[in-house]
C-alpha cells in the first residue's frame, strides 16, 4: 500500500489557508473559498509527491517519456485527485464537521476543456495511467486562456460562447516562470563557410516568451505523479519608445500578436489550411517543449549524446510534428553535432501515434507559409527530405514516381504525417483495424519500405474516473462480489462473469442502472425543465458531430419510428429516449444543421403527448467530461455507428460498455475488439464491413437509387424537405440523396433491424441485464493502464 497524505496536516493547512487567504473560519467560508483552499492544498501535496518521485527516477537513471499533444481534455481535477489519493472519505468527514458537502464544492471547478474531443481526452487518460503505473511522464501542451467553446442552442442552432476556465481553474496551475523559454519566429537566415565549417545565423527574428505552468496528475494508489506542463505565450517586453512617440496601436499590437498564441484552443479537430496562428501555436508548443526537455536532460546528464537512451518523445497525432526539426535545430545549431549524429539521436527519440485515416485531417502546410514564419525549421525539413529522397531512390531502384509519391514535400506542401513516419522509430494506430488500414492504404509505401516501424496500441481509458468516481453503486457491488483489486487492475473485472446467472446480482444491477437514470433525469429536469421517462431505453450517441460518425443515420431511424407511430399510435412499442450530445466545429455548417435537425425532431415529438410517451429525443447541451461522468452510468445503448473504416478507435464506446451499456455498432474502430471481448451475443452489430465499403466505392455508390426504391428512406428525406417543427433541412436532405459520402442510406435497413432487435432484447430484462453484466466484465482490456504499459514496453523502452 502506498502511504496516504497526512489528514492531520491537511486539516491544519486547510484552516490556515482559509484564515490567511480569505480571513474566514470554515463555518463562514463560501463554497467557492472552500474549493480554492482545498484545491491549493491538494496541489501542494501532489507537488511534494512528484518531487520525491522524480528525484528517485533521476538517481536511478531511468528513462522518461514526454507526451506532446495540442490537446488535453482534463475535465475537473479535485474529485479525481481525492479519489486517486484515496482520501475522499477523509476529506468528506473533515468538511462534514463544518456542515459542508463535498459534492457542492466540486461544482465550483470548471472543466479544463483544453481539447476538442477524443484525442485530447485520450492524452488526459494516459497521464493518469502513466502515474498509476509509476512511469515517469510529462505531458506538454498550451495553456489556452479559453478552452473548447461553451455550446448553447438558440432555437436549435449551435451558438459558441467563450470558455474562460482560468478564474476557477488556475488554482490547479503551478507557475514556473524561472523555466521560461524564448521562441523565435520570422527573420532571415544567413549562411557562410569558415575553414570547412558551415555556419548559419538566424537574425532579425521576433521573440515570444513561453512561460510554463504545471498541472499535477496523481496516479491511483501509486507513488507516481504525472505533470502536464502548459505553456503560456507572453510578449518579451513592451516597446516604450514606440509608445512614447505616440504609436500606441503598434506598441500594443506587438504584445497582442505574441499573447494571441495561447489565447484560444482552435475549435476544430481536423486541419485548417494555411492558418498562420495555428502554425505559430504548433511551433510554439514544440520549441518550448523541446527546449525544456533538453534543459532537463542537460541538468541531469550534462550531455545530449545519450538523449535517446534516457528520453522518449511521443507525438500525439501530427500537430506536434515540428518537434522533430526543432530537436535537429538544437543539436545542429546550438550543440554543433554533425547531421548524421543528430539524425541518429532524433530518429531514436521520437515515436508517433496516428489518429485518423481521413485525408482532410492529415495535416499539410503550405511551403511559403512555413518558410516565412519559421525559416530555419523550413530549411531543416527541406534537408531531411532531400536526404530521405536520395536514399529512397536507391531503395526504389531509381523509381522516381514512387519516390515523389513518398516525398515529405510535394505539390508545394509539407506533409506532416510523412515527416513523422520518416523521423520516428515507431508509428502506431489506435485499434487493430485502424493499424491495419494505415499499413494497407494511408502509409502503404512507407510500410513496405520499413515494416518493422509499424505497430498497434489499442486505446484505453482512465476507467476509474467513469466507474469508481462516477458509478458508486456499481463500484460497491463489484467490491462486494470480486474484491477491490479491479481498481488497480482492470483485468480483474473478468471475475464478474461467474455471476451471469445469479438472479440477486442481476436484480442489483437493474437497481443500480435505475438509480443512475434517475440521477441523470434529475439533472435534465433542473437544467432544461424537461421530464425524461426513466422506464424507457436510454439510447445514447455522444461524440463530436461529424458526418462520418453518422448522427444523421440515427436521426433517419428516429424519423422512421416517428412516422410509424403517427400511423399506428396504439402500436406495441418499447419506449425509447434517444440522447444526443455533440459539439460541431464552428465553421462546419452541415454538422450544425444536423444539430438543429435533432433539436427540431425533439421539439416536434414533445408536442405530441401520446407519441412522446413512447418516443422522445433529448439533446444534451455543452457536452464535456463532467457531463459524460453523469451520463455514461445511466446509458442502456451505446451508439457507435460510424461508417466502417472511418473511426480510428473511439473511447466513448469503452466508457459506455464499462457502465453496462450494450454497443449497437458497425465493425469499425475498437468496436471489433469490444465484440471480441464480450462475445457476439452481448453486442449488436450491423452494417457493411470495411472491405464491403471499399468495394461499393469502387463499383460506384448511388444513394439516389436507395431513395427511389425504399419508401421508408424516401419518406424520411422528404420530411426533411417539407419541414420538421417548422424548419426544413434541404442541405442535409440533398447531401443524403445526392452524395451521401458516408453511405448512410446503404446501411439504413441493416441499422433499422439492429434497432428493432435491441428493443426486443430489452423486453427480456434478465437477458438484457446478462448482456450488460458481460459488457462490464469485458471492459478491463480497455484500461489506459494496459495501453500505456504496452507503449512503455514496445515503443518507449521504459
Catalytic residues, by residue number, are 355, 543-544, 549, 651, 655
Do 124 and 75 form a contact (C-beta atoms < 8 A)? yes
For the stretch 492-514, what's the b/e string if a residue is b when 16 or more beta carbons lie within 10 angstroms of its beta carbon?
bbbbbeebeeeeebbebbbebbe
The residue among 117, 91, 120 whose CA lies nearest residue 106 is 91
Do 427 and 455 form a contact (C-beta atoms < 8 A)? yes
Residue 290 CA neighbour count, 13 Å, CB half: 26
Close Cβ partners of 653 (under 8 Å, ≥ 6 residues apart):
638, 640, 663, 665, 669, 670, 671, 674
The residue among 374, 472, 370, 353 whose CA lies nearest residue 415 is 370
Taking CA atoms, 176 is separated from 17, 214, 301, in Å, by: 21, 7, 22
Task: Give 353-398 as a DSSP string.
Answer: E-----GGGS-EEEHHHHHHHSHHHHHHHHHHHHHHHHHHHHHTTT
Q: How far is the C-alpha of 216 from the C-alpha of 5, rounded, in Å?
A: 15
Taking CA atoms, 200 is separated from 192, 381, 627, in Å, by: 6, 15, 53
Packing angle of the helix pair 784-791, 118-132 (nearest 10 deg): 80
Close Cβ partners of 148 (under 8 Å, ≥ 6 residues apart):
73, 113, 114, 115, 116, 163, 265, 267, 583, 624
336 Rama sector, left if φ>0, alpha if ψ -120 to 50, beta otherwise: left
The residue among 424, 271, 414 whose CA lies nearest residue 356 is 271
Task: Give 498-546 as a DSSP string.
Answer: GGTT-HHHHHHHHHHHHHHHHHHHHHHHHHH-----TTSEEEEEES---
Task: Give 100-114 as a DSSP string.
Answer: --HHHHHTTSPPEEE
* Residue the block writes with cell 458526418: 547
The residue among 649, 141, 142, 690 whose CA lies nearest residue 353 is 649
The C-alpha cell that represents 290 in the structure block? 523541446
Please give the helix or strand (H or E) that residue 712 lies within, else none.
Answer: helix 711-722
3-state secondary structure (DSSP) of residue 149: coil
Amino acid at each position: 500500500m502506498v502511504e496516504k497524505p497526512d489528514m492531520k496536516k491537511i486539516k491544519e493547512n486547510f484552516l490556515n489557508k482559509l484564515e490567511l487567504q480569505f480571513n474566514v473560519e470554515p463555518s463562514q467560508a463560501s463554497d467557492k473559498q472552500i474549493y480554492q483552499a482545498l484545491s491549493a492544498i491538494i496541489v501542494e501535496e501532489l507537488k511534494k509527491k512528484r518531487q520525491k518521485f522524480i528525484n528517485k527516477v533521476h538517481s536511478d537513471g531511468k528513462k522518461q517519456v514526454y507526451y506532446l499533444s495540442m490537446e488535453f481534455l482534463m475535465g475537473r481535477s479535485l474529485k479525481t485527485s481525492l479519489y486517486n489519493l484515496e482520501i475522499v472519505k477523509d476529506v468528506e468527514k473533515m468538511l462534514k464537521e463544518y456542515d459542508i458537502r463535498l459534492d457542492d464544492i466540486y461544482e465550483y471547478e470548471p472543466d479544463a476543456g483544453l481539447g476538442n474531443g477524443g484525442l485530447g481526452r485520450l492524452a488526459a487518460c494516459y497521464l493518469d495511467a502513466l502515474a498509476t503505473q509509476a512511469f515517469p511522464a510529462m505531458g506538454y501542451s498550451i495553456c489556452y486562456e479559453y478552452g473548447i467553446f461553451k455550446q448553447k442552442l438558440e432555437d436549435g442552432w449551435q451558438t459558441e460562447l467563450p470558455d474562460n476556465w482560468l478564474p476557477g481553474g488556475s488554482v490547479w496551475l503551478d507557475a514556473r516562470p524561472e523555466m521560461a523559454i524564448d521562441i523565435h519566429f520570422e527573420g532571415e537566415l544567413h549562411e557562410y563557410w569558415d575553414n570547412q565549417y558551415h555556419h548559419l545565423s538566424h537574425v532579425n527574428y521576433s521573440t515570444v516568451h513561453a512561460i510554463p505552468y504545471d498541472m499535477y496528475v496523481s496516479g491511483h494508489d501509486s507513488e507516481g505523479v504525472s505533470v502536464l506542463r502548459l505553456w503560456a505565450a507572453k510578449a518579451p517586453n513592451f516597446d516604450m519608445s514606440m509608445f512614447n512617440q505616440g504609436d500606441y496601436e503598434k506598441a500594443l499590437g506587438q504584445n497582442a500578436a505574441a499573447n494571441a498564441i495561447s489565447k484560444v484552443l482552435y475549435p476544430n479537430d481536423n486541419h485548417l489550411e494555411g492558418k498562420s496562428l495555428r502554425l505559430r501555436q504548433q511551433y510554439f508548443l514544440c520549441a518550448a517543449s523541446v527546449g525544456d526537455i533538453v534543459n532537463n536532460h542537460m541538468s541531469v546528464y550534462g550531455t545530449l549524446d545519450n538523449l535517446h537512451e534516457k528520453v522518449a518523445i511521443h507525438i500525439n497525432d501530427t500537430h506536434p510534428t515540428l518537434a522533430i526539426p526543432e530537436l535537429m535545430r538544437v543539436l545542429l545549431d546550438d550543440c554543433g553535432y554533425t547531421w548524421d549524429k543528430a539524425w541518429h539521436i532524433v530518429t531514436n527519440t521520437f515515436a508517433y501515434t496516428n489518429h485518423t485515416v481521413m485525408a482532410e485531417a492529415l495535416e499539410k502546410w503550405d511551403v511559403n507559409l512555413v518558410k516565412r514564419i519559421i525559416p530555419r525549421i523550413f530549411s531543416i525539413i527541406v534537408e531531411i527530405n532531400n536526404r530521405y529522397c536520395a536514399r529512397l531512390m536507391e531503395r526504389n531502384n531509381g523509381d522516381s514516381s514512387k519516390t515523389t509519391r513518398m516525398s515529405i514535400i510535394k505539390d508545394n506542401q509539407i506533409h506532416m504525417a510523412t515527416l513523422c513516419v520518416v523521423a520516428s522509430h515507431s508509428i502506431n494506430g489506435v485499434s487493430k483495424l485502424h493499424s491495419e488500414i494505415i499499413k494497407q492504404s494511408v502509409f502503404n509505401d512507407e510500410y513496405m519500405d520499413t515494416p518493422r516501424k509499424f505497430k498497434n496500441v489499442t486505446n484505453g481509458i482512465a476507467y476509474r474516473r467513469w466507474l469508481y468516481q462516477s458509478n458508486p453503486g456499481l463500484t460497491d457491488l463489484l467490491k462486494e462480489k470480486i474484491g477491490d483489486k479491479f481498481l488497480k487492475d482492470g483485468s480483474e473485472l473478468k471475475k464478474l462473469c461467474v455471476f451471469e446467472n445469479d438472479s440477486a446480482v442481476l436484480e442489483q444491477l437493474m437497481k443500480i442502472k435505475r438509480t443512475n437514470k434517475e440521477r441523470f433525469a434529475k439533472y435534465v429536469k433542473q437544467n432544461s425543465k424537461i421530464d425524461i421517462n426513466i422506464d424507457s431505453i436510454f439510447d445514447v450517441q455522444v461524440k463530436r458531430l461529424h458526418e462520418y460518425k453518422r448522427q444523421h443515420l440515427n436521426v433517419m431511424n428516429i424519423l422512421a419510428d416517428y412516422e410509424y407511430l403517427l400511423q399506428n399510435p396504439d402500436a406495441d412499442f418499447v419506449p425509447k429516449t434517444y440522447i444526443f450530445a455533440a459539439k460541431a466545429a464552428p465553421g462546419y455548417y452541415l454538422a450544425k444543421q444536423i444539430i438543429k435537425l435533432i433539436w427540431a425532431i425533439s421539439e416536434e415529438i414533445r408536442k405530441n403527448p401520446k407519441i412522446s410517451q413512447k418516443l422522445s429525443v433529448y439533446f444534451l447541451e455543452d457536452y464535456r467530461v463532467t457531463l459524460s461522468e453523469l451520463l455514461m452510468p445511466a446509458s442502456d445503448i451505446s451508439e457507435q455507428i460510424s461508417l466502417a473504416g472511418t473511426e480510428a478507435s473511439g473511447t466513448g464506446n469503452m466508457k459506455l460498455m464499462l457502465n453496462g451499456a450494450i454497443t449497437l455498432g458497425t465493425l469499425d474502430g475498437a468496436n471489433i475488439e469490444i465484440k471480441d471481448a464480450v462475445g457476439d451475443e452481448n453486442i449488436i452489430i450491423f452494417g457493411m464491413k470495411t472491405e464491403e465499403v471499399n468495394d461499393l466505392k469502387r463499383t460506384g455508390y448511388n444513394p439516389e437509387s436507395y431513395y427511389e426504391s425504399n419508401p421508408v428512406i424516401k419518406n424520411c428525406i422528404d420530411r426533411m424537405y417539407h419541414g420538421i417543427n417548422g424548419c426544413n433541412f434541404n442541405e442535409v436532405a440533398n447531401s443524403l440523396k445526392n452524395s451521401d459520402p458516408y453511405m448512410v442510406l446503404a446501411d439504413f435497413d441493416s441499422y433499422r433491424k439492429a434497432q428493432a432487435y435491441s428493443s426486443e432484447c430489452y423486453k427480456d430484462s434478465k437477458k438484457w441485464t446478462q448482456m450488460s453484466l458481460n459488457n462490464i466484465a469485458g471492459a478491463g482490456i480497455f484500461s489506459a493502464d494496459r495501453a500505456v504499459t504496452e507503449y512503455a514496453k514496445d515503443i518507449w523502452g521504459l
